[in-house]
Structure 1
Amino acid sequence: MDNYTFDQLPQAMRLLHEKMDRLELLLTEHQPPQDTETIFNVTQAAAFLHLSVSTLYVKVCHREVPFNKRGKRLYFYKTELDAWVRKGRKKTVSEIQEEAGQHLLIGKGKA
């Protein structure tokens, strides 16, 4: 670390300010673009879900899958489709057994 005299402080501050400006410019230039929500049309959503387009239409008709409609067109948000798929997760046998064991322990504690 350099020691500056009182007379050198204005020049040191100017250099520091210039370096900070360059650093700020580099950061703003290399900043990744804001991640926008991915929107799918019917064909893209069906491919994403590994379903046929007709099966996806049936699920839309029965309101089983989240969708948006503007006019006659259907749109699907990728995050909503991800959440919908995750919501359908089934528990493993070991998870069910663990929950049952916890439930039995709680029941014994109350008796």
Structure 2
Amino acid sequence: MERLSERLAAVESVLRKLEPVENLLQRLDLLENSIYTTKKVFTFQEACMYIGVSESMLYKLTASKEIPHYKPRGKMVYFAKEELDEWLLQNCEPTIDDANRMAAESAAAEPFFNQRRHGKRKKD
């Protein structure tokens, strides 16, 4: 383990000396991002990277049919980008401002109940 860490440190020092490599890594990142914006259908591995889960997690999601997917020939699994986006955006958590606004709206719409009387109307 110690030898591995020494080798890794040596590789890192060589990479730091090569300045153009940093530009290359940035360009690779840009290319990866552009792939995700232009493709409409993802393979299993691309979907893992796109939604940020491990292969085992995505396998569990597909096996339990919790995520939309396609198996055109019964083996290979494919995912539609639009459906993945919809799946990622489900179960929206409201912000504090949204929650306060919804609470104020529902309080104005519902009659006042006295909590001490367990839901009975407060007598006027």
Under TM normalisation by the shorter chain, which class is it? 0.5 to 0.7
Q: Aligned pair 1:103/2:119, yes or no?
A: no
Q: How many residues of Structure 1 are paired with residues of Structure 2 in the alignment?
A: 75
Question: How far 1:37 moved relative to its partner?
Answer: 6.5
1:7-64 residue CA offsets vs partner (Å, 9 max, x unmatched)? xxxxxxxxxxxxxxxxxxxxxxxxxxxxx86100100000000111111000111111
Q: Does 1:88 align with 2:97?
A: no
1:40 alignment partner AA: F
1:50: which partner in 2? 52
Query: What RMSD, in angstroms, separates the aligned Cα atoms of the two structures?
Result: 2.2
Q: Give 4+ residue runs of structure 1 displaced > 2 Å after superposition.
A: none
Larger radius of gyration: 1
**Structure 2 unaligned residues grouped into runs of 5+:** 1-37, 112-124
TM-score (norm 1): 0.61
Instruction: Say whether residues 1:60 and 2:62 are aligned partners.
Output: yes
**C-alpha separation between the residues in 1 aligned to 2:54 and 2:43?**
13
Measure how far apart 1:93 and its partner are: 2.1
Larger RCO, structures 1/2 (Cα 8 Å, 6+ apart): 1
1:73 Cα offset (Å): 1.0
- Matches for 1:3-82 after TM superposition, within 5 Å: 38-70=40-72, 71-82=74-85
Give SS of 2:71's match: strand
How high is the sequence identity, in percent, across the aligned residues? 29
TM-score w.r.t. the length of structure 2 is 0.55
Long gaps (5+) in structure 1: 1-35
Deviation at 1:89, TM superposition (A): 2.1
